Amino acid sequence: MASLKLSAPSSQWIAGERPLCQRRCVLKAPSRRVAAGPIMAGSYTDELVQTAKSIASPGRGILAIDESNATCGKRLASIGLENTETNRQAYRQLLLTTPSLGEYISGAILFEETLYQSTTDGKKFVDCLREEKIMPGIKVDKGLVPLPGSNNESWCQGLDGLASRCAEYYKQGARFAKWRTVASIPCGPSALAVKEAAWGLARYAAIAQDNGLVPIVEPEILLDGDHPIERTLEVAEKVWAEVFYYLAENNVVFEGILLKPSMVTPGAEHKARASPETIAKYTLKMLNRRVPPAVPGIMFLSGGQSEMEATLNLNAMNQGPNPWHVSFSYARALQNSVLKTWQGRPENVEAAQKALLVRAKANSLAQLGRYSAEGENDEAKAGMFQKGYTY
């Protein structure tokens, strides 16, 4: 293709004009909005801050039972149960009515079905949680779908109608929300996928705060891949830099959010494993570089680690002071032993609840930096990584 050569200097492209160096001009800066006061999240700001502080309280963390009905069905199938509402209710009742659970658990993330359910005796699940001083939370995203124009990556849907849904969830008793999106290291991640993830999380967080719900911000860096821990650190720093940029752009109140990051680990298929001390070192390095101290709580996901691994890594991160409450928001790393103990049998409910308390207490001690793996059984040591995991 022939190209057009512009021989004249750029200052002389307009006929009859003097070169820019010979003209005087006044450059007027574009008008900028200047905030008249501090950023506020509507009328809920004080409540949001108090809710976040309550969840980020010493020795406590979050129980995540927000699996979709389909994923809950897979868990039930692993112990030979059908995926029916009755069976899902029975399992969640087991979890949410565990005596003294509030000693170690400060919040429980529920699926929409569970938020509106009651026990077989007619007591609302949200009331069971309140009696234990556990904040009810709600998953509000609508799941991952393919991201056009990306490197086989995903984006998270659910912004349409989110404000009205959050308002209804608040009326039902929810006080915090969760939105999960992901970044895949084997897929790049592409700049498009990172920007989409960050913008979606920021819009969700602003909408949730505007309706009284503390948003949990969760861009999960998937464990899939054979990359070293240094590559995970690089990607995590990039993702979190983008996330906080857009959170600020959307006027999100940092004191009224919680984070749910992945731990910085090597890829699950990397030949060399990392010790808890190494994982803690790299994870805290990322957090200190990217997360403002105004954020009250860092509630880690387990991401397919074994129950014991997730607890050991959390414990290693709490061997020194941190500017935030560094704790847990575990699903499988709290539930795996529970399911296998229960087996869907009413006579096993008490034993299964005791298994939940064992794991919850272990992670409570890890949050305080006092956990020891001495006495852990083989079940707690079993890995739970699933390549391409969805829920």
- Report DSSP letters for 138-183, one per residue: EE----EEE-TTSSS-EEE---TTHHHHHHHHHHHT--EEEEEEEE
Q: Which domains does the chain have, with CATH numbers?
A: 140-368 (3.20.20.70)
* Angle at CA of residue 287, ends 283 and 289, nearest 5°: 115
- pLDDT tens series, the chain, 391 aa: 444 433 333 333 323 344 434 444 344 444 444 444 455 556 899 999 999 999 999 999 999 999 999 999 999 999 999 999 999 999 999 999 999 999 999 999 999 999 999 999 999 999 999 999 999 999 999 999 999 999 999 999 999 999 999 999 999 999 999 999 999 999 999 999 999 999 999 999 999 999 999 999 999 999 899 999 999 999 999 999 999 999 999 999 999 999 999 999 999 899 998 999 999 999 999 999 999 999 999 999 987 788 999 999 999 999 999 999 999 999 989 999 999 999 999 999 999 999 999 999 999 999 999 998 776 665 554 554 445 545 5
Distance CA 252, CA 363 (A): 29
Query: Residue type at 191?
Result: A
Q: Which two tokens stand for residue 209?
A: 């705060």
Q: State yes or no: is 361 an active-site residue.
A: no
Query: Residue type at 215?
Result: P
The confidence score (pLDDT) of residue 196 equals 97
The confidence score (pLDDT) of residue 101 equals 98
Evaluated on CA atoms 205, 209, 212, 214, the torsion sign reads: positive
Distance CA 180, CA 68 (A): 12
**Exposed, middle or buried: residue 149 (CB in 10 Å: 0-12, 13-18, 19+)?**
exposed
The confidence score (pLDDT) of residue 268 equals 87
- Of the candidates 276, 279, 275, the one whose C-alpha atom is nearest the C-alpha of residue 265 is 279
85-96 helix and 69-77 helix, angle to the nearest 10 degrees: 80
List the catalytic residue out of 112, 218, 220, 242.
218
Q: State yes or no: is 255 an active-site residue.
A: no
List the catalytic residue out of 153, 260, 307, 309.
260
If DSSP codes are grouped into helix, strand and coil, which group holds residue 29? coil
Report yes or no: 97 and 63 within 8 Å, Cβ to Cβ: no
Distance CA 224, CA 216 (A): 23
